[in-house]
Amino acid sequence: MSTDVLALGDDALIAAQRLAEWCSRGPDLEEDIALTNIALDQLGAARLLLGLAGSREQPARTEDELAFLRTDREFRNCLMVELPNGDFAVTMAKLLFLAAYQKPLYEELAAASSDDPELAAIAAKAVKESAYHLDHAALWTVRLGDGTEESHRRMQNAVDEIWPYTHELFESHPDWLSTVDEVLRESTLERPADGWRPTGGRDGVHTEHLSRLLAEMQVLHRAHPGVTW
């Protein structure tokens, strides 16, 4: 069970780090704040999940040790969250697919409180946030997909580019597919054909993008161990 919690925490942490890259670079002030809010939601969930995962290790590790003192091969996040932000459409495609994955997952974990009450409490907090992330990403996917010729082209490109990485999230995914299909249909976007299925994130085999992300995320903590504000 501990490995699962670590993977959930790493998904949230790496997604937060990527989304935070939009800070001060959003297309307008309102969206800049929205993306930062979502990044902070993910970071909040990551802290709780990594704290829980670390407390269950022998010997125990803190959330900071897990976030800042592991190498890329020790991260268990899916590949999708570590991919570069690309343009705004790619960021929205990643957020749509991630939120459509996290929301039902958190709902399920929140409902299974008899199995793991600590994890259920964290999931219950995260589920409302995920619902808003899904809503936000769906709104933009529809606006861009069913927008101008240029926005449609770029949103379709984004969906095509990210689609292969969604296979890693599931063995089978009927609910996820129906959620995403509905958004794509309303957005006048085509669901890409299933083909290439890159995988390995859950086993610590990542893309080169994760190493660069970790270098930036971890540099301060590694240069000044135990530093505080």
Partner 1 sequence: MALWEVFIRPRRGLAHSHVGSVHAADAQTALRNARDVYTRRQEGVSIWVVPAAEITASSPEEKDSFFDPAADKVYRHPTFYQVPEGAPHI
Cβ–Cβ under 8 Å, residues 157 and 93:
no
User: Is position 151 an interface residue for partner 1 (rule: CB under 8 A)?
Assistant: no
Closer Cβ to partner 1, 35 or 119, answer by number:
35
x/- track of binding to partner 1 for residues 2-31 (CB under 8 A): --------------------------xxxx
Closer Cβ to partner 1, 29 or 223, answer by number:
29
Considering the complex, what minimum distance in angstroms separates the CB of residue 150 from partner 1?
A: 15
Closer Cβ to partner 1, 36 or 157, answer by number:
36
The values of phi and psi at residue 8, to 5°, are -60, -45
Would you list the DSSP string of 25-44? TSSSHHHHHHHHHHHHHHHH
Nearby residues of 196 by Cβ (< 8 Å), 6 or more positions away: 164
CA distances from 224 to 116, 155, 220, 221, 228 (A): 36, 41, 6, 5, 9
User: Is position 136 an interface residue for partner 1 (rule: CB under 8 A)?
Assistant: yes
Considering the complex, what minimum distance in angstroms separates the CB of residue 30 from partner 1?
A: 4
Query: Is the N-terminal amide bond of 59 cis, ω within 30° of 0?
Result: yes
Given 20, 139, 160, 204, the residue binding partner 1 (CB under 8 A): 139
Q: Using CB under 8 A, list all residues that contact partner 1.
A: 28-31, 33-34, 37, 135-136, 139, 143
